[in-house]
């Protein structure tokens, strides 16, 4: 349960299966520099993309409970896979709480494409989700744009290992992207929050293929704007003055704090305090046994 009156000074809770949500966190820090932030990397359970839906839902509910117990006034599900699987259940569990999810940017991509072909890079689970498929069908009906769905199996793992530009990661990206270009896609949706972290490698690959014209769509910026809107509408934006304590960021991980601390330094160039935590799922799990 969310307490009836939450002080605007309370932190915003953000989470992902791992480091991917840091691509969203950096936009939140830029747009809402006064907010205290908590970030959970559920690395002990990553990647979510190849896990059964019931497990992803259980993890989302457990992490949200953890963040609320730390005093979070709002939650950002900085993971497409978790949003597609569980944001509805999460909103039902916490009515009145500002909750922002992240979904592949099909709408902005449809507005950008000239060839009417858009490649969507995401996890298998996101691309199979009913919520995602409904959105795709609706935008296709409205605009005639064709969405070419490309599951990127293994890419989240590469990024979690810190292999942002290794030979293995580059050839994996090439294998996923070349067929989309061959089908005339001129816009690629980065439909997993991990993928903006390899944007540099994707841009190099496109340049090498003579396709520097291809647009990349990432929704991190839009998620931060939506969070700002929801906080303002609920009277929860943190107000500061000269005497206020500076905004603080705390990282939590369900795996190694040392490894996650290193990821903060290498990906964002910051060194916040990081704690390893055990976030257990409530029993019994929804829809157990896992499908």
Q: Which CB, 6 or 80, lies closer to ligand DGL?
A: 80
Is the preceding peptide bond at 284 cis, omega within 30 degrees of 0? yes
DSSP readout, 207-270?
HHTT-TT-EEE--HHHHHHHHHHHHHHTT-PPP--TTSPPP-EEEEESS-HHHHHHHHHHHHS-
Q: Which CB, 49 or 105, lies closer to ligand DGL?
A: 49
Distance CA 211, CA 182 (A): 11
Q: Which CB, 156 or 189, lies closer to ligand DGL?
A: 156
Which member of 172, 192, 231, 274 is catalytic? 192
Which member of 62, 79, 181, 236 is catalytic? 79
To the query of whether residue 275 is one of the catalytic residues in this protein, the response is no
CB 198 within 8 A of CB 170: no
**Site membership for ligand DGL, residue 47 (CB under 6 A):** yes
**Site membership for ligand DGL, residue 251 (CB under 6 A):** no
Per CB under 6 A, the list member of 14, 17, 36, 109 interacting with ligand DGL is 17
Stretch that binds ligand DGL, among 46-54, 168-176, 219-227, 238-246 (CB under 6 A): 46-54
CB of 99: closest distance to ligand DGL in angstroms? 16
Q: Which CB, 15 or 66, lies closer to ligand DGL?
A: 15
Binding mask 141-170 for ligand DGL (x = CB under 6 A): ---------------x--------------
Per CB under 6 A, the list member of 12, 38, 43, 49 interacting with ligand DGL is 49
Per CB under 6 A, the list member of 80, 169, 170, 253 interacting with ligand DGL is 80
CB 5 within 8 A of CB 242: no
CB 147 within 8 A of CB 140: yes
> Would you say the C-alpha torsion 213, 174, 199, 49 has a positive or negative sign?
positive
Q: Name residues whose C-beta falls within 8 Å of residue 175's C-beta, 6 or more positions apart in sequence.
A: none
Stretch that binds ligand DGL, among 16-24, 127-135, 138-146, 179-187 (CB under 6 A): 16-24
Per CB under 6 A, the list member of 187, 193, 219, 253 interacting with ligand DGL is 193
CB of 193: closest distance to ligand DGL in angstroms? 4
Instruction: Quote the DSSP letter at residue 47.
Output: -
Total residues interacting with ligand DGL, rule: CB under 6 A: 16
Distance CA 111, CA 92 (A): 32
Per CB under 6 A, the list member of 60, 180, 192, 223 interacting with ligand DGL is 192
Q: Name residues whose C-beta falls within 8 Å of residue 117's C-beta, 6 or more positions apart in sequence.
A: 145, 146, 148, 183, 184, 185, 186, 187
Q: What are the start-end ranges of the H helices in the chain?
A: 22-31, 53-69, 80-93, 106-112, 124-128, 130-143, 155-160, 167-182, 199-208, 220-233, 257-268
Stretch that binds ligand DGL, among 26-34, 75-83, 107-115, 275-283 (CB under 6 A): 75-83
Could you tell me the two tokens for 117? 């072909």
**Site membership for ligand DGL, residue 79 (CB under 6 A):** yes
**Site membership for ligand DGL, residue 194 (CB under 6 A):** yes
Coil, helix or strand for 148? strand
Distance CA 31, CA 133 (A): 30
Residue numbers annotated as active site: 79, 192
Q: Where along the sequence are the contacts to ligand DGL (CB under 6 A)?
A: 16-17, 20, 46-49, 79-81, 123, 126, 156, 192-194
């Amino acid at each position: 349960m969310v307490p009836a009156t939450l002080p605007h000074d309370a932190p915003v809770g953000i989470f992902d299966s791992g480091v991917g949500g840091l691509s969203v966190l950096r936009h939140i820090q830029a747009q809402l520099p006064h907010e205290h932030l908590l970030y959970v990397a559920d690395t002990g359970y990553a990647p979510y993309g190849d896990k059964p839906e019931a497990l992803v839902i259980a993890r989302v509910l457990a992490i949200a409970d953890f963040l609320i117990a730390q005093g979070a006034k709002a939650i950002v599900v900085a993971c497409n896979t978790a949003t597609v699987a569980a944001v509805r259940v999460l909103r039902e569990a916490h009515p009145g709480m500002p909750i922002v999810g992240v979904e592949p940017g099909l709408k902005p991509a449809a507005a950008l494409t000239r060839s009417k072909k858009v490649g969507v890079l995401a996890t298998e689970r996101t691309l199979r989700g009913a919520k995602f498929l409904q959105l795709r069908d609706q935008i296709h009906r409205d605009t005639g744009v064709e969405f070419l769905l490309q599951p990127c199996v293994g890419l989240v793992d590469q990024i979690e290992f810190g292999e942002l530009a290794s030979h293995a990661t580059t050839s994996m990206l090439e294998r996923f992207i070349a067929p989309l270009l061959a089908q005339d896609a001129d816009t690629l949706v980065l439909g997993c929050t991990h993928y903006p972290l390899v944007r540099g490698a994707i841009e190099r690959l496109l340049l090498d293929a003579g396709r520097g014209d291809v647009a990349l769509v990432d929704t991190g910026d839009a998620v931060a704007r939506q969070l700002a809107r929801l906080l303002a509408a609920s009277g929860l934006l943190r107000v500061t003055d000269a005497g206020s304590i500076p905004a603080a960021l705390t990282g939590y991980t369900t795996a190694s704090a040392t490894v996650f601390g290193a990821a903060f330094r290498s990906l964002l160039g910051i060194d916040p305090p990081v704690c390893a935590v055990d976030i257990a799922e409530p029993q019994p799990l929804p829809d157990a046994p896992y499908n």
